[in-house]
Amino acid sequence: MGMNEKTESVNTAACGKTSMSIGVCYFPEHWPEDRWESDIEAMADCGIEYVRMGEFAWSRFEPEPGQYDTAWLERVVDLIGDHGMKAVLCTPTATPPKWLVDRYPEIRQTERDGTVREWGSRRHYCFNSETYRQETERIVTELADRFAQNPTVVGWQTDNEYGVHGTLRCYCDNCSAAFGEWLREKYGDVETLNETWGTDFWSQHHTSFDEIEAPGHTPTDHHPSRLLDYYRFTSDRVRDYNRLQADVLREANEEWFVTHNFMFDFTELDAFDVGSDLDFASWDVYPTGFAQSKPESEQTAADLRIGDLAQTALHHDLYRNAADGPFWIMEQQPGSINWPPTTSQPAEGAMRLWAHHAVAHGCDVVSYFRWRRCQQGQEQYHSGLRRADGAPDRGYHDAAWAADEFEELAVGERAQPDPSVAAVFDYESHWALEKVDMGPTFDYASHFATVYEALRGRSVGVDIVPRDADFRAYDAVVVPALHVLDDEAADRLAAFVRDGGSLLTTARTGEKTPGNQLHPTAPGPLADLVGATVDNHESHATDTLETTVEYDGDTFEYHTWGEWLSPDAAAVVGKHRGGVGDGRPAITHRSVGDGSVTYLGVWPDEALADAVVTDVLAAGGVEHLDSPLPDRVQVAERDGLTWVFNYGAHAVETDLPAGDIVVGDATVPAYDLTVFEGAATDITVEES
């Protein structure tokens, strides 16, 4: 049975119906026992079907070493079952208790400068501590065995948000030793490592794997090859740690699903890799908080009220594909939140809009965080669906509203989105570009988002996939900045093109070998397919230098990075205009076999990204809108139903006939949505 089948059968069998579900995160340990029943009754009234619990409760499960107490949670789970709902439990490993840290101080994390991370918040453990792995196995086995026969428990979340608060990469002695072993396994003998990294530079030759250290604090940059391997190693080790937990859980009950809650803009952990051990991926969605990751000068009122549409959509498409789909929202923002720089009240209806957004992208369950605002601890200023006194808050009404609509739309019966375009997201390229020796930061994820947003701007659905995905399922594939490139990936892309696919690849592709040394020319092993090489490049911190290109008779702007191309078999379709690079090739196109490849040698502005992407779609025969959607508007299609999302502060007009509309209206108000029967490209949307 495939993972999809398993997930679907768990969901439908578990709740006895096939509609999309609403869930909630609950912390019964924060409340007196005599409140549990009224809380759980109110959850059922709201239409909630899944209750997630336990992720930080280790000190309640094991108050003293070896003395377990799960009776309290069993009583809560029984109440949940009595009210016709299902329980999702979490392993409590994100918060090792005080007695455990005192007993084994070596499990604590160490920062790059040697500072030890003390007990007192969360995520203070090191993934490479063998002691912590043993303690993890012990507590997870104990909990799994105690709930294995409980029919209300349908699955588990492992740990909680691996790596949040900058905790994925640790620099302690355990990590140094484990890194040495990981390298020994990868390279076999130390001379192969020296050759792959190129260690004659600055006397960085290694004589043995025993002398390897985690890349700690140094006067200036670390060797880029050491860093890239360290980033691979840290991601691999978290994957192994997650696998340890998943294996224990499946051993106890093979019917359980196992998932993990990933995060926004978190690129230190390869989600595709971890996802291969999960039944489905989940992620945690806090749009008004995420939007505040933009520079303050770029944040709009709409960002603070509803968040950034494109950011959220991109992560839905990423995590839908991280474990072969579908996906869950394990934590959905319930109202105002405590952790961003400022605490804004979300727009009216925002908590319903966010749930619809996830569902349109293939989500099965939207679980709100948290049930009830908490009076103790670090998150007192974070709202819940209910207030601290138990009265309904804004999110409760929105969650009930969304639950009713999902039932009416029977979205759970609809197949997953089925895009004909894939975008390759490559964690290794991101890691290699984390440290750039020149110019402004070439942020891989932002560059990727530029291309992704251009596709979505034309109402085109996108699967975000790893470099080793099966491209044959797609008509067009976009590969922004595939910086680290080997022959295998290049050959697979070439086969896709020869077989009729339309490929777009962009600046900084194929600059580096897997060892993070330069290829003699970029785009490295893809040069033959592209039919051009990169002759020279420059980076742009400001508007001081000329950044204009001519493409298809129009002029456009670019920023951050520009390349001068040297075509061989490719046609030049875009040229630099002005300045020292005037007239030099910037964009090339080449037909190969039954398909074609476009190389875009600059970081395009929105208009240039739209122009190039539209041509790439046309070359692949992918249906798309004739003109781009208005800013902050996107359209998402799922099996015959299409959602129009307006994350803008003003209404927009569609040309939808009333008979096709199933939710909303032809005019989509600010911060609202319309759902219609039809395809994403059957529509025009204009600003009012």
Known catalytic residues are: 161, 331
- Residue placing its CB nearer to ligand GAL in the complex, 163 or 362: 163
* Residue closest to ligand GAL when measured from CB atoms: 161
**Distance from chain centroid for Cα 500:** 30
Output the smallest distance, CB 286 to ligand GAL, in A.
5
Does 284 interact with ligand GAL (rule: CB under 6 A)? yes
Instruction: Candidates 159-167, 240-248, 343-351, 514-522: pick the segment binding ligand GAL (CB under 6 A).
Output: 159-167
Number of residues that bind ligand GAL (CB under 6 A): 11
Length of the chain: 688
Build a one-symbol-per-residue string for 381-420: x at contacts with ligand GAL by CB under 6 A, - elsewhere. -x--------------------------------------
Instruction: Candidates 113-121, 156-164, 537-545, 673-681: pick the segment binding ligand GAL (CB under 6 A).
Output: 156-164
Output the smallest distance, CB 86 to ligand GAL, in A.
20
- Identify the burial level of 362 via C-beta atoms within 10 angstroms of its C-beta, where 0-12 means exposed, 13-18 middle and 19 or more buried: buried
Q: How far apart are CA 58 and CA 66, in angstroms?
A: 12
Output the smallest distance, CB 283 to ligand GAL, in A.
10
Among 110, 152, 160, 167, binds ligand GAL (CB under 6 A): 160
Residues 250-269 that bind ligand GAL (CB under 6 A): none
Q: How far apart are CA 576 and CA 597, in angstroms?
A: 20
Output the smallest distance, CB 370 to ligand GAL, in A.
8
Could you tell me how many helices (H) and strands (E) the chain has, helices first?
Answer: 20, 27
Q: How far apart are CA 22 and CA 29, in angstroms?
A: 22
- Residue placing its CB nearer to ligand GAL in the complex, 354 or 643: 354
**Rg (alpha carbons) of the chain, rounded to whole number:** 26
Residues 304-333 that bind ligand GAL (CB under 6 A): 331
Does 286 interact with ligand GAL (rule: CB under 6 A)? yes
Q: Looking up tokens 């009076």, which residue turns up? A: 375
Output the smallest distance, CB 316 to ligand GAL, in A.
17
Build a one-symbol-per-residue string for 338-357: x at contacts with ligand GAL by CB under 6 A, - elsewhere. -x------------------
- Residue placing its CB nearer to ligand GAL in the complex, 284 or 428: 284
- Residue placing its CB nearer to ligand GAL in the complex, 157 or 196: 157
In sequence order, the 6+-apart residues with CB closer than 8 A to the CB of 527 are 510, 521, 533, 568
Pairing of strands 602-604, 554-567: antiparallel
The residue ranges of DSSP E strands in 16-81, in sequence order, are 21-25, 48-53
Q: How far apart are CA 247 and CA 249, in angstroms?
A: 5
Spell out the alpha helix ranges (H) of 388-486. 394-409, 427-433, 444-456
Q: Which of 535, 525, 606 is nearest to 576 (CA)?
A: 535
Instruction: Candidates 157-165, 565-573, 618-626, 638-646: pick the segment binding ligand GAL (CB under 6 A).
Output: 157-165
Does 164 interact with ligand GAL (rule: CB under 6 A)? yes
Q: How far apart are CA 160 and CA 252, in angstroms?
A: 20
Q: How far apart are CA 602 and CA 64, in angstroms?
A: 59
Does 89 interact with ligand GAL (rule: CB under 6 A)? no
Among 135, 159, 161, 268, binds ligand GAL (CB under 6 A): 161
Among 187, 230, 231, 369, binds ligand GAL (CB under 6 A): 369
Which residues sit at the interface with ligand GAL, rule CB under 6 A?
160-161, 164, 284, 286, 331, 337, 339, 369, 379, 382
